Amino acid sequence: MDKPARITPPLTDRDVEYLRAGDKVLITGVIYTARDAAHKKLSEAMDKGDALPFDVRGQIIYYVGPTPPRPGEVIGSAGPTTSGRMDVYTPRLLSLGLKATMGKGQRSEEVIDAMKKYKAIYLAAVGGAGALIRKCIKKADVIAYGDLGAEAVRRLTVEDFPAVVANDIYGGDIFKAGVEKYRRP
């Protein structure tokens, strides 16, 4: 797909069925942030049977710990963090209906298998472009775990937030495809 697909959370099975590894997307709407410490608290809440701070069904979680905003800005630099650190928590969130995660780097086979099972995708955001990415973020509100600072759960309102489908529901993987494409015989 040459032209980016436009997606708006909450996502449905049908939304992710059309996307393939390598497709470019532009996200407009609400996405949520959570990193390592927040994922640990989400997991603890699930273990206790407590409600999560937001309904994960159909949502996108962006792995980011934004810097503080400058005066007059909505958010500071908001580049992705390494996704692998959340792999231990991700399959469980996918089983609850989470439709996409977004960060940088490869995912474990366990997460890839869970994406296929629960019809979810992994989006790669551009690492090193946090200052540019923040321009797509129109609103940012801490909704849980404010004590975690940069790692608090935030509700972001985004417009034309760019990403690439790194893993699709069919097992497509841009990381593996890239290695194969450039492997020397």
Residue type, 89: Y
Grade residue 126 by pLDDT with cuts at 50, 70 and 90: confident
Domain locations along the chain = 5-182
- DSSP string for 136-152: GEEEEEEEE-GGGGGGS
In this predicted structure, the answer to whether residue 179 has a pLDDT above a threshold of 80 is no
pLDDT value of residue 60: 98
Both tokens of 162, joined, read 């760019």
Q: What is the pLDDT of residue 183?
A: 61
Count CA within 13 A, CB hemisphere, residue 93.
Answer: 31
Q: Which CATH architecture has domain 5-182?
A: Alpha-Beta Barrel (3.20)
3-31 pLDDT, tens digit each: 899 999 999 999 999 999 999 999 999 99
Q: What CA–CA distances, in Å, run from 128 to 73, 98, 121, 133?
A: 19, 26, 22, 9
Query: Tell me, what's the pLDDT at 129?
Result: 74
Residue 90 phi/psi, 5-degree rounding, is -65, -45
Model pLDDT, residue 127: 73
Q: Is the pLDDT of residue 141 over 90?
A: yes
